[in-house]
Amino acid sequence: MKIIPVILSGGVGSRLWPLSREHFPKQCLALTDKEFSLLQNTVKRTNALEVLSPIVVCNEDHRFLIAQQLKKLGVAKSSIVLEPVGKNTAPAIALAALEAQNRKQDDSLLLVLPADHVIRDIDEFELAIQRAIELAKENTLVTFGVKPTRPETGYGYIRSGENNDVVEFVEKPDVETAKAYVASGDYLWNSGMFLFSAKAYLEELSYYRSDIFQAVNLAFEQRSQDLDFVRVDENAFSNCPEESIDFAVMESTKKAKVVPYSGDWSDIGAWDSLYDYSEKDESANVLFGDVMSESTTNSFVRSESRLVATVGVDNLVVVETADAVLVMSKDRAQDVKNIVKRIHAEGREEHMFHTTVHRPWGSYQTVDLGGRHQVKRIMVKPGEKLSVQMHHHRAEHWVVVSGTAKVQNGDEEILLTENESTYIPVGVIHALENPGKIPLELVEVQSGSYLGEDDIVRFSDRYGRSK
């Protein structure tokens, strides 16, 4: 049977702040691989299987970022289904199942994979999938249980029985209970990975949680196509209850089966788990980027934009980005989310954006920000164009650093090359395009009484954005 990879990419990963942000979440970061993100590696590990084009379910704010990462892998004809609001895994998987049926591929099996897992033992992973395929052909709902290597309190567990039967699902235990689970040999970590047909899942969802099924089905029926994206109805989907697949279906269905996977696996949920998963040096340190360590042990140190030096420390996590630095004891990794909550509550933006912000046309980086001015470094990819727009409160001065810029400035259209510039007054309609074959790089100086990104009035946009 054909397999459709279903990639669940709705999370943010706040415990991996300051690297993971709301508009650049952890699954899009290259955390364990210098070249590919967690999402890209999730897609890549299905390549050896006989698979159809993937279905990715993601947050609407991440749609262009996800599409760009798939494009870099050469993935064509994927379906990117947008969730207007996160409703947990049961509704998200239902959207993917309905999209599979819409493709006329409902006789295929859905291989449901979270986008942020790390699996390096690909051969063992493929063997587990082959065993699961035989069970899923019998109209069962198969989940994958990871054989535990330690008494982990951060994962749920599955108690398995004979003939791959699921005896029970249990929530995250305390340490003593986790030790008993591991010692018994009857429990597996609940991986959150599944294999079943679209029809089998939707039938069980409609039987056990008809409210979820009806809400998702209505939202999908009223969908629209937005470029490469499937956009479901926001009002209908917002009325859907929020529930995980475990609570909604797997704990109730009589069709649940579990296949053990005994290979390497991690969900990289926080900095301590990334430390545990990474290769260490002779001092048990994990060092990324421009880092100098002296008399430092058992620590994770990552630099993104400048030199980071540590002296005489132990058991620390130090993560530096252009606008934030995290320093914490490694055994307090779960508490990072409390800092993120405080940043949000104080009306700051360090939980949302990096200084470099990615857009479908390229990216921009904030270099300097004052009360009435802002300086950005802008990169426009070859052949791409920003929206035709105007601003009520700010003027802009563009200076080309490299490449060629095609500029609409009011009624005038001009070409600018290196060291040439143009000034755009407040209220003037303008647009920026890269007609060349190399990236366009320019410096933008904004000045005015209000410099927020919401002071953009768009008149046309090739990416379908209204805001």
426 and 402 in a common domain: yes
Tell me the three state secondary structure of residue 402: strand
Q: Cβ(362)–Cβ(384) under 8 Å?
A: yes
| 276 lies in some domain | yes
In a domain, 348, yes or no: no
Bridge partners of 118, per DSSP, are: 266
CA distance 392 to 374: 16
Same domain, residue pair 220 and 305? no
Please answer whether residues 132 and 138 qualify as being in contact, where contact means their C-beta atoms are separated by less than 8 angstroms: no
CATH number of the domain where residue 372 is located: 2.60.120.10
Residue 279, domain member (yes or no): yes
In which element (H, E) is residue 274 found? Answer: helix 271-277
Q: Comparing C-alpha atoms, which of 41, 68, 66 is closest to residue 56?
A: 66
Question: Does residue 266 sit within a domain?
Answer: no
Token digits for 59? Answer: 């947050």
Q: Quote the radius of gyration of the chain (alpha carbons, Å).
A: 24
Mean pLDDT by 10 residues, the chain (467 residues): 92 90 92 90 89 92 91 88 94 96 88 94 93 94 93 89 89 91 92 95 96 97 89 95 95 94 89 92 96 97 96 97 95 93 93 88 92 95 95 97 97 96 97 96 96 90 78
| 28, 33, 34, 40: CA torsion to nearest 10 | -40
Same domain, 302 and 203: no
Of 242, 261, 280, which marks where a domain is finished? 261
Instruction: Report how far apart the first and last C-alpha atoms of the chain are (Å, whole number).
Output: 42
Phi-psi region of 20 (alpha: psi -120 to 50; beta: other; left: phi over 0): beta
Enclosing domain of residue 119:
3-261
- How far, in Å, CA of 173 to CA of 105, rounded? 39
Instruction: Count the Cβ atoms, other than its own, within 10 Å of residue 291.
Output: 19
Question: For the chain, how many structural domains are there in total?
Answer: 3
The answer to whether 90 touches 201, Cβ cutoff 8 Å, is: no
Alpha-carbon span 232 to 237, nearest angstrom: 7
Of 228, 261, 294, the residue that ends a domain is: 261
Segments in 79-209 forming alpha helices (H): 89-102, 122-136, 175-184, 198-208
In a shared domain, residues 71 and 219: yes
Q: How far apart are CA 365 and CA 170, in angstroms?
A: 45
Q: Same domain for 133 and 192? A: yes
**Gap between the Cα atoms of 296 and 287, Å rounded:** 11
| pLDDT (0 to 100) of residue 467 | 58
- Whether residue 116 contacts residue 247, with contact meaning beta carbons closer than 8 Å, is answered with no
Residue found by looking up tokens 């100098």 in the block: 292
H/E stretch holding 259 reads strand 256-261
126 touches 261 (CB < 8 A)? no
CATH of the domain at 50: 3.90.550.10
Residue at which a domain ends, from 208, 233, 261: 261
Residues 317 and 431 both lie in one domain: no
Tokens 């309609």 found at: 429
Same domain, 85 and 211: yes
**127 shares a domain with 248:** yes
- pLDDT of 95: 97
Is 38 a member of any domain?
yes
| 436 and 454 co-located in one domain | yes
Ramachandran angles phi, psi of 179, nearest 5°: -60, -40
Are 220 and 364 part of one and the same domain? Answer: no
298 in the same domain as 374: no
Domain contains 100: yes
Give the residue from 309, 304, 311, 312 showing the smallest Cα distance to 288: 304
Q: What is the pLDDT of residues 88-133, one digit of tens each?
A: 999 999 999 999 999 988 778 999 999 999 998 999 999 999 999 9
Query: Is residue 349 in some structural domain?
Result: no
The answer to whether residues 256 and 280 belong to one domain is no
What would the two tokens of residue 321 be? 């980005």
Residue 427 in domain? yes
pTM above 0.85, yes or no: yes
Given a contact cutoff of 8 angstroms between Cβ atoms, the answer to whether 326 and 311 are in contact is no
Burial of 467 (0-12, 13-18, 19+ CB in 10 A): exposed
pLDDT in tens, 255-296: 999 999 998 898 888 999 899 989 999 999 999 999 999 999
Distances (CA, A) of 132 to 109, 126, 334: 10, 10, 33
